[in-house]
Amino acid sequence: MDANERNQLIEAYRTAFDEFEEALAGIPREAWQFRPAPGEWSVHEVIIHLADSETNSYLRARRLAVDPQLPLMAYDQDAWAAKLDYHSQDTDTALALTRLARLATYDFIKDLPDQVWAHVGVHPEYKDPYTFERWLSIYANHPRQHTEQILNNYTAWRAAQE
């Protein structure tokens, strides 16, 4: 990845959660608990997942920059959703946490020197090298992926109301 591609991903990282929140604003709260199918997440669960994911991402970025030789933490997102009872957690707090963690990480990564982007870490879920650029590729558009998911949930919820 060259510097221009990386800068485009950093900009995508900066705007991705704003787009998620814009989409979320169009979904009525009564639709947030709806699961479109067994085993699929509700809008509420997606919101809590993003907070968990973003706080893990926040720590991973810093570990990759400072201590890339130390292993990164893996977690089972489905186990977290079930065992942490995502539906019992506050979405307003999760949204605020995600927004702040993402902003802090953006402020951190936007001016990192090239040599830091070359760092390679150890992630137990990946056999291939887990580079800092790989981290960016994974997280830059993560909220956008969930934007599509919550919009699909809302469409399914509306269809179920008919």
State how far the Cα of 144 lies from the Cα of 89, in Å rounded to an integer: 22
Q: How far apart are the first and last CA of the chain?
A: 48
The per-residue pLDDT for 157 is 97
Structure tokens at 133: 């650029």
pLDDT at site 118: 92
pLDDT at residue 162, as a whole number: 84
pLDDT at 35: 95
pTM of the entire predicted model: 0.94
Whole-number pLDDT of residue 87: 93
User: What does 67-80 look like in DSSP terms, one character per residue?
Assistant: -TTSBPPP--HHHH
Walk me through the domains of the chain, giving residue ranges and CATH numbers.
3-161 (1.20.120.450)
In this prediction, the residues of the chain whose per-residue pLDDT falls under 50 are none
Whole-number pLDDT of residue 105: 98
Q: 108-143, pLDDT tens digit by residue?
A: 999 999 999 999 999 999 988 899 999 999 999 999
Cα separation, 44 vs 29, in Å, equals 9
